[in-house]
Amino acid sequence: MQAPHTDILVIGGGPAGLHAAFYAGWRGLSVRVLEARGEIGGQLAALYPDKRVYDVPGLPATRAAEVVTHLQRQLDGLDVDLRVHTLARTLERVGDGWQVGTTSGVFTAGAVILAAGLGALRPREARVPGADLHPDVRTDLPDPDTLHGRRVLVVGGVPQATRAALELTAAGARVTLTHRRAGFRGDPDALARLEGMQTQGQLTVWAPATLRRLTEWGAELEVDGHEQNVEADTILVLNGYLPDLSPVQSWPLNWQGDYVPDGPGGRTALEGVYAVGDMAQSSTDFKLISLAFAQAAVAANHAAHHVRPELRIRPGHSSEKRA
């Protein structure tokens, strides 16, 4: 069976990858974006979704998660296939194009735009006493519907923990949320909803609380100096993410440490492979969303010309194109 093919494969669903996907799609190309995490947005979604970003052109003082929403909306109507939970691992030359092996199959394309940022953002390990005793300890939020009717203990104060508690409760799980500090992170709407649900008894919150250990039936907490047992079928330990570049660092791109040298148009040592965003060597001193956008626009237009030589590199102005 032949691998599914698109004109362009973008590796990484952060701002650089999403804007590259927009530009290539806007030029009329078919695009597939491969993202290791369960959601797009890169560092903005994983590391600081609740923080306001002040220096994205055209979006003054906008929460990072909202910047991602805008980037995704800009893909509406374009031939862009977003694949989450898809970690790119191998790159091979096939004919005039490239084949990328992933954790969810093999894909081919005429050109590859590498937008892997700091690396695949992987959930931190659950370093909790007794983590090996409980039968269902997880470090990332699965599809909430799969936990319907289950008793779920969510451990953590990061925005993903707040969101997991809300989404799981909405999906019919019986949720307890705990954190060692009193406060949780999240956007103000999410925090207000959390408080509302807690007040209405729709979920239980123990914070500040010390997680003494996990057991085969749940967890032992210490709250105000007293032992508090929580029975749980599933335990979600959400501690944020750590970047991992190793899946792509074996690719022959003349890596300079964590950076890929990017020549004019984002070109790399491999013909038809481009590097943009935080991982491009030209970003060494400026890891900025605005720079990632600019690099993505340039590389996507070069990639478009590479795949379809009849397309000029210069895209023309979008304002002159009919919708």
Ligand X SMILES: Cc1cc2nc3c(=O)[nH]c(=O)nc-3n(C[C@H](O)[C@H](O)[C@H](O)COP(=O)(O)OP(=O)(O)OC[C@H]3O[C@@H](n4cnc5c(N)ncnc54)[C@H](O)[C@@H]3O)c2cc1C
What does the binding site for ligand X look like in residue numbers (CB under 6 A)? 11-17, 34-37, 42-44, 47-48, 53, 55, 87-88, 115-121, 247-248, 277-278, 287-290, 292
Identity of the residue numbered 279: M
Q: Binding site annotation covers 256? A: no
* Closer to ligand X by Cβ: residue 218 or 247: 247
Query: What is the distance, to the nearest Å, from the Cα of residue 81 to the centroid of all Cα atoms in its chain?
Result: 15
Q: Binding site annotation covers 18? A: no
| C-alpha–C-alpha distance, residues 61 and 105, integer Å | 39
* Closer to ligand X by Cβ: residue 198 or 281: 281
Q: Binding site annotation covers 2? A: no
Q: Binding site annotation covers 48? A: yes
CB of 51 to ligand X, least distance (A): 6
Q: Enter the tokens of residue 220.
A: 């032992």
CB of 229 to ligand X, least distance (A): 36
Other Cβ atoms closer than 10 A to 62: 15
- 8 Å CB contact between 8 and 305: no
Q: Binding site annotation covers 35? A: yes
Q: What is the DSSP string of 197-214?
A: HHHTTSSEEE-S-EEEEE
* Closer to ligand X by Cβ: residue 88 or 197: 88
CB of 25 to ligand X, least distance (A): 16
CB of 268 to ligand X, least distance (A): 15
Identity of the residue numbered 255: W
CB of 225 to ligand X, least distance (A): 35
Instruction: Give CA separation, 35 vs 82, 88, 122, 267, in Å.
Output: 8, 8, 11, 21
- 8 Å CB contact between 307 and 29: yes
* Closer to ligand X by Cβ: residue 122 or 308: 122
* Closer to ligand X by Cβ: residue 36 or 297: 36
| C-alpha–C-alpha distance, residues 107 and 100, integer Å | 5
Residues at the binding site for FAD are: 35, 43, 48, 88, 121, 278, 319
Residues that constitute the known binding site: 35, 43, 48, 88, 121, 278, 319
